């Protein structure tokens, strides 16, 4: 039993995976609150089941139409870059949406537009996330890492709507939307940490590689290279394409 639990939570021993997992879990709770807010707002504006179905369909269509493009982007662009800017975009859109709702400047067309934006961005975010997770844990822990993500996702699906309902009932729809916008900070912070961590690793690797090359050159030339011979490279972005 204890051994099984240790294996199940072993990926969390990796600092990079732990930060990414926590960030994704926080963001997932906000996503579920947003979904409830969209449903609540649609019913409040129209009272129509047809309008509600239209909003839900609007969120799904981009996922189908852009699925292949999103997967291709995840193969060609750093997954952490895609995830970072996807959630920056969604946070900004959600904050603007919350402001418009609070000012009573809302219409069903705007709700549908927000649903389309979320569906389109998720098409790029989700494949990037699936490409990123295996890169931050050991290969032997891939299944456990995926299980932990599923645990976070299913937990957010259970508790997120309840939290969103509480915020709407006790405060307002803009409160639930603002909560969602704030939770995007979890993924944004995790991606910034990951990119800085990988940048530091690449810089150290470059310095060590140059030191080894100088040692070899010194032995061949019959001299002992000093520390002053090592030039610290200026790295403007992570070298790896996998994050």
Q: Dihedral of CA 64/153/145/242: which sign? A: positive
Work out the pLDDT band at 123, boundaries 50, 70, 90: confident
Q: Is 237 exposed, middle or buried (0-12, 13-18, 19+ CB in 10 A)?
A: exposed
Domains and CATH numbers, the chain: 2-197 (1.20.1250.20)
- Per-residue pLDDT reduced to its tens digit, 193-243: 988 876 544 444 445 455 455 455 555 555 555 544 444 444 444 444 455
Averaged pLDDT for residues 177-184: 94
In this structure, the dihedral spanned by the alpha carbons of residues 123, 124, 129 and 130, taken in order and rounded to 10 degrees, is: 60
Asked if the model's pLDDT at residue 69 lies above 70, the reply is: yes
- Per-residue pLDDT reduced to its tens digit, 146-170: 889 899 999 999 999 999 999 999 9
């Amino acid at each position: 039993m204890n051994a099984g639990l240790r294996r199940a939570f072993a990926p969390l021993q990796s600092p990079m995976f732990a930060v990414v997992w926590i960030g994704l879990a926080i963001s997932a709770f906000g996503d579920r609150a947003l979904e409830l807010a969209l449903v609540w707002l649609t019913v409040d504006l129209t009272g129509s089941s047809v309008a509600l179905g239209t909003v839900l369909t609007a969120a799904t269509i981009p996922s189908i139409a852009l699925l292949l493009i999103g997967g291709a982007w995840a193969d060609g662009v750093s997954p952490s870059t895609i995830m970072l800017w996807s959630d920056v975009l969604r946070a900004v859109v959600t904050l603007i949406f919350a402001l418009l709702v609070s000012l009573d400047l809302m219409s069903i067309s705007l709700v549908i537009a927000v649903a389309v934006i979320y569906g389109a961005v998720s098409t790029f975010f989700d494949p990037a996330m699936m490409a990123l997770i295996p890169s931050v844990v050991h290969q032997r822990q891939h299944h456990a890492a995926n299980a932990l993500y599923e645990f976070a996702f299913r937990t957010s699906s259970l508790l997120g709507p309840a939290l969103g309902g509480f915020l709407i009932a006790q405060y307002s729809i803009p409160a639930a939307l603002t909560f969602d916008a704030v939770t995007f900070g979890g993924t944004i912070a995790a991606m910034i940490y990951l990119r800085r961590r990988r940048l530091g690793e690449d810089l150290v690797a470059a310095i060590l590689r140059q030191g080894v090359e100088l040692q070899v050159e010194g032995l061949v030339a019959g001299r002992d290279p000093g520390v002053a011979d090592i030039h610290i490279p200026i790295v403007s972005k992570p070298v790896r394409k996998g994050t």
